[in-house]
Each structure stands twice: as C-alpha cells, then as structure tokens.
C-alpha cells in the first residue's frame, strides 16, 4: 500500500528516482529496492517523503504502519483476524 502510493505520487510529480533518492539521502539502488518491495522505508523517511511529494504525512504514515502490521501477521493468516482484534482492543485501552 505504502510503496504503491509513494510510487504513484513520485510519478505524478514527475520526479526521477535518483532525485527522489537524493532527497531521502539514500542511493538510487537502495530506493529502487524500496520501490520494488525488497527493502522497507524507514519511519524517519516519511516526513521527508511527504514534503518532497507534497503529500499528507499522516496518510503516508498510516499506510506505512499498515504495511508493517501485514508483514508481521501475513504468515499466520488463520489467526490474523483474532490478532488484529486483540491489538485493536489493546490500543483502545491505552
């Protein structure tokens, strides 16, 4: 979700991959791996991404966090609904 969104925004801005990578202070190869899903973007990159792409940082953070949750529960599909339900309850109690 997150990767698709930043790729879409980058393309809409007609921002070359190498210039975007430079804005994030990473090399092009590293960013290319992020965009292909081989690496994860770091949380600290999100405000920079939002600024460069003139996007909503909260939306990008939400998508990034959702991807993190999916990565944790994706191998346990038979219990993932219950896991997410319990997590939601815990979060609501905070």
Of the candidates 21, 18, 10, which has an alpha carbon nearest to the alpha carbon of residue 54?
A: 10
Residue 74 DSSP label: T
Q: What is the pTM of this model?
A: 0.82
The contacts of residue 15 (CB under 8 Å, 6+ apart) are 52, 53
Q: What is the pLDDT of residues 57-90, one digit of tens each?
A: 999 999 999 999 988 888 888 888 898 899 889 8
The confidence score (pLDDT) of residue 93 equals 86
What is the extent of the structural domain holding 56?
Answer: 2-93
Q: What is the DSSP letter of 36?
A: T
CATH code: domain of residue 72: 1.10.260.40
- Average per-residue pLDDT for the chain: 92
CA distance linking residue 72 with residue 49, whole number of Å: 24
| Number of domains observed in the structure of the chain | 1
The CA–CA distances, whole Å, from 9 to 3, 4, 32, 35, 79 equal 10, 9, 15, 12, 34
């Amino acid at each position: 979700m997150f990767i698709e969104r930043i790729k879409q925004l980058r393309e809409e801005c007609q921002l070359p991959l190498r210039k975007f990578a430079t804005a994030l202070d990473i090399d092009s190869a590293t960013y290319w791996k992020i965009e292909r899903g081989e690496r994860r973007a770091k949380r600290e990159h999100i405000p920079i991404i939002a600024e460069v792409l003139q996007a909503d940082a909260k939306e990008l953070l939400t998508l990034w966090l959702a991807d993190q949750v999916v990565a944790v529960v994706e191998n346990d599909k038979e219990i993932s609904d219950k896991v997410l339900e319990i997590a939601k309850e815990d979060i609501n109690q905070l």
